[in-house]
Amino acid sequence: MTALARILDWPAPEAEEQGQGLWDSATLERALRGSASGPFTVSGVEIDSRDVEPGDLFFALKGESMDGHRFVEMAFAKGAAACVVDRPVEGPHILVKDTTEALERLGAASRQRARGPVIGVTGSVGKTGVKEMIFEGLERATRGDAHRSVKSYNNHVGVPLSLARMPARARFGVFEMGMNHEGEIAALTRQVRPHVAVITTIAPAHIENLGSEEAIADAKAEIFQGLERGGTAVIPADSPHYERLRKAALRCGARVVAFGRGANADVRLLDAVDAIGGGSLVTADMGDRRVCYTVAAPGEHQVTNSLAVMAAIRAVGGDLGAAGVALAEMGGLAGRGARLEIAVSGGEANADGSRSALLIDESYNANPASMRATLAQLGRTNARRRIAVLGAMKELGTHGPGYHAALEEPIREAGVDYLVLVGDEMLPLVRELETRADAGENAASSLGKPVAFAHCQSVREAVDRVRAFGLESGDAILVKGSNSVGLASLVSELNKQEG
């Protein structure tokens, strides 16, 4: 049977005959080393009472300023089947000494019962997108028997929670791991225990805490410490830190698979051309075969990410044909490249009488590497005018002023016609733009004219500036910044209120 036939046929696996319950009280009692109030079964796991759905197990976690036990009643009111608590409550529950430790134990129990390969993903840029791409490829081939961490649940709480949610029938698990400091990835990878560990790229994200890109590479390479025996390390061949990552992987006994454009890449890009309808048509050499597939999400960085995806899926014995189909259908994620058509009032009408602009939502995160990549993609986007709303890049420390000022070059190369900058960290870029304007070498638009720009202290002011500029049909608007800047609200306002 061909790969396409398998995808279309999707015979129901034997595992589908298993029950739909995720955990029962007897198993939870053993795994959490607690005491169950009585028999029950749960179908999900949640730590936020606002997100509880009927059948969930609610963990009443305690933080520095919040105690989840305050929300137990709310969790039950929303349909929670049971709660994990450190004090007796009314309703089905598991009584434990420490709820946070109990969540980690449940994650460990889930990992212990996992019957298929597990993939771990980290990196300075693109880890959530790569995680989602890998999942979509495996999900398609297994008819829903793949599992992954949702959103960016990649820290000391999100990782055990994501593990705890993995069904026993899952044939693959894909988990994202993030960090701000040395040692954090090491702790997470010991919980995930991946068979394949992927590093997307190394860039100066969190350099404020780690001091150098070399230190960032070392911190990311901690993911190899949790690899199962005989596991595979998937690393970027084109990174200046390739040798550092390779040696770290070999010290952990890993088989190294490199991806990229360089001759040292095991999954090597041969060609990438614009695809009909957007995205890229990619041809890659995987050593013993060549593969050709479409990546729906536009941008050179997405092409590179797709190579890491193919390397990881092949390493766990996944279906490359199914992965190619998934990549061809998968657009950008909210906050990470989603491309939205928004109605606007100005400009020339389309053939059908409508007026629309393209809104590129990159509002979730930003660092120097991702800023350059998305600005470059904006420059390649067919548009009458290009507008960029850029928020501050956080956690750059003393390196911040230089990195912000250096954005002048990719802004100029992208042919930006109107620029809105948000946050005090953008002041070095403001001065750079002003200096070049005074010297007659200003960052020029595609028409060779100086870029009109505004510097704002708040997202509300940025919205007003964009509206005052006036969006027109055929415009392309890039919105990008660190999540804490809050540009997601600007995306929401433009998406809902334009026209």
Q: Would strands 280-285 and 267-274 be described as parallel, antiparallel, or unpaired?
A: antiparallel
Of the two residues 270 and 332, the one the predictor is more confident about is 270
- Quote the CA–CA distance of 241 and 232 in Å, as a whole number: 18
The answer to whether residues 157 and 296 belong to one domain is yes
Chain segment 96-110, per-residue pLDDT in tens:
999 999 999 999 999
Q: Of 329, 362, 381, which residue constitutes the final position of a domain?
A: 329
pLDDT at 4: 47
- Residue ending a domain, among 329, 353, 378, is 329
Q: 205 and 216 in contact (C-beta within 8 Å)?
A: yes
- Taking only the tens place, the pLDDT of each residue in 265-303 is 999 999 999 888 789 999 999 999 999 999 999 989 999
CATH number at residue 393: 3.90.190.20
**Residue 234 lies in domain:** 114-329
Q: Write down the pTM of the prediction.
A: 0.86
What φ, ψ does residue 78 adopt, rounded to 5°?
A: -90, 0
Cα–Cα distance measured from residue 85 to residue 95, given in angstroms and rounded to the nearest whole number: 5
Do 225 and 174 lie in one domain? The reply is yes
Q: Is residue 1 part of a domain?
A: no
Does residue 441 surpass a pLDDT of 60?
Answer: no
> Looking at residues 249-263, what average pLDDT do you find?
97
Which tokens hold the place of 356? 């629309």
Residue 11 belongs to a domain: no
Identify the CATH number of the domain in which residue 93 sits: 3.40.1390.10
Calculate the dihedral angle through the C-alpha atoms of 451, 456, 460, 462, rounding to the nearest 10 degrees.
10
Return the pLDDT at 12.
Answer: 44
* Residue 15 lies inside a defined structural domain of this protein: no
Structure confidence at residue 65 (pLDDT): 85
Rounded distance, CA 132 to CA 148, Å?
8
Detail the DSSP E strand segments found in 203-288.
232-236, 255-260, 267-274, 280-285
Instruction: Give a yes or no: residue 222 inside a domain.
Output: yes
Same domain for 259 and 289?
yes
> Does some domain include residue 5?
no
Regarding whether 363 and 283 lie in a shared domain, the answer is: no
Diameter of the chain by CA atoms?
Answer: 77
The answer on 166 and 46 residing in a single domain is no
**Single-letter residue type at 348:** E
Residue 126 has pLDDT above 80, yes or no: yes
Task: Name the domain count of the chain.
Answer: 3
Residues 65 and 121 in one domain: no
Contacts of 295 (CB under 8 A, 6+ apart): 275, 279, 280, 282, 302, 303, 306, 327, 328
| Residue 63: pLDDT band with limits 50, 70, 90 | confident
Same domain, 137 and 170: yes
Is residue 163 domain-shared with residue 238, that is, in the same domain?
yes
Quick one: 400 and 490 in the same domain?
Answer: yes
Residue 288 sits in the same domain as residue 367? no
Report pLDDT for 440: 62
Residues 6+ away with beta carbon under 8 Å from 248: 218, 221, 224
Does 199 reside within a domain? yes
Residues 284 and 419 in one domain: no
- The answer to whether position 12 is within a domain reads no
Mean per-residue pLDDT over the chain, rounded = 91
Determine, yes or no, domain membership for 170.
yes
Of 268, 299, 329, the domain-final residue: 329
Specify whether 325 is located in the same domain as 237.
Answer: yes
* Model confidence at 11: pLDDT above 70: no
Do the beta carbons of residue 310 and residue 269 sit within 8 Å?
no
In angstroms, rounded to a whole number, what is the distance separating the alpha carbons of residues 188 and 194? 10
* Per-residue pLDDT tens digits for 144-158: 899 999 888 999 999
